[in-house]
A and B are shown apart, each in its own frame.
Chain A
């Protein structure tokens, strides 16, 4: 690894309408064959940095550009994007927006046709590209028939078919479920190890980035704050937290252990090292569990939602739910998890009467949803979709919040008072006259929630609220859910990001293949590792470490969930284990 494939020299860039520079004096070199990670909070400049590689920044966006970017020896400002497309393959976060053809093979052929590659050559490259991402046999399929992970792998195959020197992936797993995410990471790693392809990937998936990257660059407010090996970057916990980045849980755990004065040596950033360090630290410590572990509240109130033997068969014959039964009680905070296709969305659509049961019953407040209109249900259950932008269509924040109230013919005084309440609850009173799309994404989610709060529903459902958000954005939305829970609302959250939820959820429903696999308090559910893995969910590293610690000490430790709880089990003993 000695040849330089990418060199940035004193690169600064400002978009045409931005007030400040988005990239600031970046100096960076990337070697051929490296797997190079780019991390940083939203707005740090990761996407802009990725887009400089193929000259989309600045050639497409315009703006002011300083310095030089060389890719495979070419100064990107001196060559057209079409020529650089031969050298740099690019894959972005949402596979849906990258696929345009009506078959898998046409998708791969599209870029090649545009680059005037001869037909015979295109026919040769298609099977090679598909084999590289393990999508053989799907040539004739419509891309819409593929799963999320397969779609993203197809986008990678289309980029690979051009035979680029460099593959740039900008948060390629942020929209995917755990299975899709694992597929993409495994594919990219294989391309890097087997074919020697240079990879530049930005991602918030701390555990995977620590595992796979050769080096990582930390961007902060457009500046290159640090570059180093994953163990150098991800062990700087305070620095990561100061930049609103989430360290791998294994690193957080050992950092917290270290903070109690226990010598741990270096801070491990990968699970394998973490297991080894755990054994070493355990030998010089006394292990006993913390006394103040938060236990989930048991709710005995009347169910606000009651489901009995719910079955749903889609018109094409797909059996999406097979006899699901459960109650959700007033004031509960419920987490629904499961891989894509497990039936989570189908289940939630029944809550909202957007789907009718094939058999069984769904009752809200004791009334069959079949006897309630969608507007009646909207007054009782609020729904925050994955992408808040899909729910925003008014010209001002105030109009957005008032929209449903007006549609439901509330008196003008009540519309005004509820709108004011909703805006105030979400801290939006001072942006009432602003266009919602002019607000940052986290604030746009608050607009949607304010509109729901104005309806004063008993229950609020958050559907994948953390997908596509960085750590700060995800925590921000979850803190809102906590605030609403404290206001007495019943909260239901669907997410794949299990590591984010121990501070919030009380009860977990694990869905798999259309059935309810488990309905348990969060500690029970998170420690049912085999069951979670059977539905392709990965328990947080803290849970896995806690189980390893239990095995090492032969103790029946309580079901620990977080690095904080795990670290508080360690009590330094200079002479080793003591009673």
Chain B
């Protein structure tokens, strides 16, 4: 065939069955994945009790696949349903839902060279503000030693640092890479960075509620890095499969997806 003889038409999705460029069907499916993974605990929660849901490993993935807004909606809805049907991992329910939505939102803002390249400032400010409040309260109000705070909050401040520095865009470039090994590395470190934003935002609230003592901070120093590695592995393993699959089957890509 030479050139098409018909008039070229503007192709647009009519009917509004999408949120911020992500079809509602995708949002529903990924929300269901988050809910399903909420059933599976992967670690105990020090201080406030209960256990972390495995879904924490994929909140970020939802943000990268759907974009910041649709990702936050899917992750938030999935976590909200999880709170009711999997109470063993619910923790402080509103904080869990807030963290799930914020993690996906933060991940979705890890973009480079697009019109939304400044959106990261919102979660960045939330992350830095939360860490100042969280660590400040420990140091100044509760008299926890600096060493305990630095060690016990190590996973969090390291992740926030990765997020606010240009490393953020390096990870997003890796996730968009054609090399699946690079994608996995981007998912691992990207999960660390964006989850840390949500984690400190959550911790600043729960610490205000529970004010755990220095002994717990020291225990966290050993546990939190291991938890982060586990969370990032979950994100990298599931994410690599999901992204490889989505690329292979060629489903329509949400407008703000970064894979």
Binding site for B on A (CB under 8 A): 9-12, 15-17, 21, 24-25, 55, 58-68, 77-83, 222-223, 395, 435, 437-438
Q: Is there an interface contact between A10 and B15, defined as CB atoms closer than 8 Å?
A: no
Selected from B4, B9, B17, the residue in CB contact (under 8 A) with A21 is B4
Which A residues lie within 8 Å of B8 (CB)?
Answer: 64-66
Binding site for A on B (CB under 8 A): 1, 4-17, 23, 180, 244-245, 248-250, 252-253
A282 to chain B, nearest CB (A): 46
Q: Is there an interface contact between B9 and A66, defined as CB atoms closer than 8 Å?
A: yes
With A16-B250, A64-B11, A77-B9 given, name 20 new contacts (CB 8 A).
Answer: A10-B5, A12-B5, A16-B253, A21-B1, A24-B4, A25-B1, A58-B11, A59-B11, A60-B13, A60-B252, A62-B252, A66-B7, A66-B8, A67-B4, A81-B15, A82-B17, A222-B1, A435-B244, A435-B248, A437-B249
**CB-based nearest B residue for A223:** B1
Q: Is there an interface contact between A60 and B244, defined as CB atoms closer than 8 Å?
A: no
Q: Would you give 8 A-B contacts (Cβ < 8 Å), ordered by A?
A: A12-B4, A17-B250, A25-B6, A55-B14, A59-B13, A60-B252, A80-B15, A80-B16
Q: Is there an interface contact between B244 and A59, defined as CB atoms closer than 8 Å?
A: no
A432 to B249, CA, bound (A): 19
A437 to B243, CA, bound (A): 13
Which A residues lie within 8 Å of B15 (CB)?
Answer: 59, 80-83
B187 to chain A, nearest CB (A): 15
A325 to B164, CA, bound (A): 72
Which A residues lie within 8 Å of B250 (CB)?
Answer: 15-17
Q: Is there an interface contact between A77 and B11, defined as CB atoms closer than 8 Å?
A: yes
Which B residues lie within 8 Å of A66 (CB)?
Answer: 4-9
Which A residues lie within 8 Å of B253 (CB)?
Answer: 16
**CB-based nearest B residue for A75:** B9
A25 to B8, CA, bound (A): 12
Which B residues lie within 8 Å of A12 (CB)?
Answer: 1, 4-6
A470 to chain B, nearest CB (A): 20
Which A residues lie within 8 Å of B14 (CB)?
Answer: 55, 59, 78-81
Selected from A11, A59, A80, the residue in CB contact (under 8 A) with B6 is A11
Known: A16-B252, A59-B11, A435-B244. A25 touches B4 (CB 8 A): yes
Which A residues lie within 8 Å of B13 (CB)?
Answer: 59-60, 62
**CB-based nearest B residue for A12:** B4
Which B residues lie within 8 Å of A79 (CB)?
Answer: 14
B242 to chain A, nearest CB (A): 13
Which A residues lie within 8 Å of B5 (CB)?
Answer: 10, 12, 25, 66-67
B151 to chain A, nearest CB (A): 38
**CB-based nearest A residue for B253:** A16
Which B residues lie within 8 Å of A395 (CB)?
Answer: 180, 244
Which A residues lie within 8 Å of B16 (CB)?
Answer: 80
A392 to chain B, nearest CB (A): 10
Which B residues lie within 8 Å of A83 (CB)?
Answer: 15
Q: Is there an interface contact between A10 and B4, defined as CB atoms closer than 8 Å?
A: yes
Question: Which residue among A12, A63, A78, A222 has the maximum number of chain B CB atoms within 10 Å of its CB?
Answer: A12
A25 to B253, CA, bound (A): 27
Selected from A16, A59, A222, A437, the residue in CB contact (under 8 A) with B12 is A59
A9 to B9, CA, bound (A): 12
Q: Is there an interface contact between B248 and A438, defined as CB atoms closer than 8 Å?
A: yes
A82 to B15, CA, bound (A): 7
Which B residues lie within 8 Å of A437 (CB)?
Answer: 245, 248-249
Which A residues lie within 8 Å of B1 (CB)?
Answer: 12, 21, 24-25, 222-223
Which B residues lie within 8 Å of A16 (CB)?
Answer: 250, 252-253
**CB-based nearest B residue for A68:** B6
Which A residues lie within 8 Å of B248 (CB)?
Answer: 435, 437-438
Which A residues lie within 8 Å of B23 (CB)?
Answer: 60
Q: Is there an interface contact between B6 and A62, defined as CB atoms closer than 8 Å?
A: no
When A and B form their complex, which 3 residue pairs have the shortest distance between CB atoms, in order from nearest?
A: A67-B6, A80-B15, A10-B6
A39 to B245, CA, bound (A): 30
Q: Is there an interface contact between A63 and B11, defined as CB atoms closer than 8 Å?
A: yes
Q: Is there an interface contact between A65 and B244, defined as CB atoms closer than 8 Å?
A: no
Q: Is there an interface contact between B9 and A65, defined as CB atoms closer than 8 Å?
A: yes
B2 to chain A, nearest CB (A): 9
Which A residues lie within 8 Å of B245 (CB)?
Answer: 437
Which A residues lie within 8 Å of B244 (CB)?
Answer: 395, 435
A28 to B113, CA, bound (A): 44
A400 to B253, CA, bound (A): 27
B215 to chain A, nearest CB (A): 46
A535 to B92, CA, bound (A): 61
Q: Is there an interface contact between B180 and A62, defined as CB atoms closer than 8 Å?
A: no
Which B residues lie within 8 Å of A222 (CB)?
Answer: 1
A191 to chain B, nearest CB (A): 27
Which A residues lie within 8 Å of B4 (CB)?
Answer: 10, 12, 21, 24-25, 66-67
Which B residues lie within 8 Å of A10 (CB)?
Answer: 4-7
Which B residues lie within 8 Å of A78 (CB)?
Answer: 14
A235 to B237, CA, bound (A): 54
Selected from B6, B9, B12, B252, the residue in CB contact (under 8 A) with A61 is B252
A232 to B11, CA, bound (A): 37
Which B residues lie within 8 Å of A15 (CB)?
Answer: 250
Question: Which residue among A9, A17, A59 has the maximum number of chain B CB atoms within 10 Å of its CB?
Answer: A59
Which B residues lie within 8 Å of A64 (CB)?
Answer: 8, 11
A412 to B225, CA, bound (A): 36
A68 to B5, CA, bound (A): 11
A68 to chain B, nearest CB (A): 7
Which B residues lie within 8 Å of A63 (CB)?
Answer: 11
A438 to chain B, nearest CB (A): 6
Which B residues lie within 8 Å of A25 (CB)?
Answer: 1, 4-6
A18 to chain B, nearest CB (A): 9
Which A residues lie within 8 Å of B11 (CB)?
Answer: 58-59, 62-65, 77
A443 to chain B, nearest CB (A): 14
A60 to B17, CA, bound (A): 10
A9 to B6, CA, bound (A): 7
Which A residues lie within 8 Å of B249 (CB)?
Answer: 437
A67 to B11, CA, bound (A): 12
A435 to B247, CA, bound (A): 11
**CB-based nearest B residue for A63:** B11
Which B residues lie within 8 Å of A223 (CB)?
Answer: 1
A83 to B249, CA, bound (A): 28
**CB-based nearest B residue for A14:** B4
A23 to chain B, nearest CB (A): 9
A83 to B5, CA, bound (A): 28
A60 to B23, CA, bound (A): 9
B53 to chain A, nearest CB (A): 26
**CB-based nearest B residue for A61:** B252
Question: Which residue among B4, B7, B180 has the maximum number of chain A CB atoms within 10 Å of its CB?
Answer: B4
A222 to B180, CA, bound (A): 33
A509 to B136, CA, bound (A): 79
Q: Is there an interface contact between A67 and B180, defined as CB atoms closer than 8 Å?
A: no
A175 to B248, CA, bound (A): 23
**CB-based nearest B residue for A15:** B250
B113 to chain A, nearest CB (A): 20
Which B residues lie within 8 Å of A68 (CB)?
Answer: 6-7, 9
Question: Which residue among B9, B12, B15, B253 has the maximum number of chain A CB atoms within 10 Å of its CB?
Answer: B9
A64 to B12, CA, bound (A): 10
Which A residues lie within 8 Å of B17 (CB)?
Answer: 81-82
Q: Is there an interface contact between B252 and A67, defined as CB atoms closer than 8 Å?
A: no
Which A residues lie within 8 Å of B9 (CB)?
Answer: 58, 65-68, 77
B26 to chain A, nearest CB (A): 11
B131 to chain A, nearest CB (A): 38
A112 to B253, CA, bound (A): 28
**CB-based nearest B residue for A21:** B1
